[in-house]
Amino acid sequence: MTTRNLLEVTNLSVKFPLLKRGLLSKQVGEFTAVDQVSFEVQRGSVLGIVGESGSGKTTLVRAILRAIEPSSGSVLFQGNDGAVDLCQLTHKQLMPLRTQMQMIFQDPFASLNPRMKVADIIAEPLVIHHPEQHLQHRQQVIKMLERVGLEADSLHRFPHAFSGGQRQRIGIARALILNPSLVICDEAVSALDVSVQAQVLNLLADLQEEMNLTYIFVAHDLNVVHHFCERALVMYRGAVVESGPVDQIFTSPQHDYTKLLLSAIPSLDPDIKLAPLDRNSLDLG
């Protein structure tokens, strides 16, 4: 594995068994959510993963972090102590590595425990991995809060007191407090209003510079991916149909599905009419 890459995914597949319901469930087939996906992520870069619902993009990134178990393939991660295949580790062995890779979730309402105070939510990673340093926790939490643009008196409040954008910032603070190298944004701005989305994207860009982060950015909104990412993968029905630098994907798409996707994006200019391609005339494979 070249040290230029932070992550190398090779032939990753995730299959779910289809069960027949009876007194004892029996497997009658399987559903392939992620189909032999391979890609690399360079350190310090932003990789976008684009697809519609059912494309497998969320399953893919959750499998990388082992929130879902992959069925086959390898995920080479360049950790602080060298390269490891995440798929080969037990959950216990993964524990120390968790500090180096984190996820920011889509739903600002569901991703924070509604019964925990903001201070506790952000401090939780510290409590789990560095319990012995509990005296410094408060300071670190306050620093992180300021970094994401929230006020220090947010500490003793509960998530329901905050707007969607603010909750996402809390989620970002929680993900970044341990200084990970890889951050996966699973549709992190999709549920936000347009103006708030802009702020959060700017925040993520700033934090990447300050903290030397590498992002995998999952989204269904192509414009956001075009704006935020350097390279991108286009997924359709579990497989990667196209990959490359974003500009190239947008100006000269190769695969029919990418062409379909691009043709469906409405323009802000009322005089540019939406003319989506007819899916039946395409070879989507």
CB 142 within 8 A of CB 155: yes
Q: Smallest distance, Å, CB 193 to another protein?
A: 4
Q: Smallest distance, Å, CB 2 to another protein?
A: 26
Q: Smallest distance, Å, CB 38 to another protein?
A: 23
Retrieve residue 235's tokens. Answer: 């997924």
Q: Which ranges in the chain belong to alpha helices (H)?
A: 57-64, 91-97, 118-129, 134-147, 164-176, 194-211, 222-228, 246-251, 256-263
User: CA–CA distance from 232 to each of 88, 128, 144, 217, 250 (Å)?
Assistant: 27, 34, 29, 9, 10
Please identify, using beta-carbon distances, which residue of 11 and 211 lies nearer to another protein.
Answer: 211
Q: Smallest distance, Å, CB 15 to another protein?
A: 17
Please identify, using beta-carbon distances, which residue of 6 and 188 lies nearer to another protein.
Answer: 188
Please identify, using beta-carbon distances, which residue of 11 and 25 lies nearer to another protein.
Answer: 25
Please identify, using beta-carbon distances, which residue of 1 and 205 lies nearer to another protein.
Answer: 205
Across the beta sheet with 5-20, what order do the strands follow? 26-42, 5-20, 72-79, 82-85
Please identify, using beta-carbon distances, which residue of 1 and 200 lies nearer to another protein.
Answer: 200
Q: Smallest distance, Å, CB 101 to another protein?
A: 8
- Best CA proximity match to 42, nearest among 242, 245, 235: 245
3-state secondary structure of 184: strand
The dihedral region occupied by 150, where left means phi > 0, alpha psi between -120 and 50, and beta the remainder, is: beta
Q: Smallest distance, Å, CB 9 to another protein?
A: 17
CB 225 within 8 A of CB 219: yes
Please identify, using beta-carbon distances, which residue of 43 and 130 lies nearer to another protein.
Answer: 130
Q: Smallest distance, Å, CB 63 to another protein?
A: 12
Please identify, using beta-carbon distances, which residue of 143 and 227 lies nearer to another protein.
Answer: 227
DSSP letters of 191-260? TS-HHHHHHHHHHHHHHHHHHT-EEEEEES-HHHHHHH-SEEEEEETTEEEEEEEHHHHHHS--SHHHHH
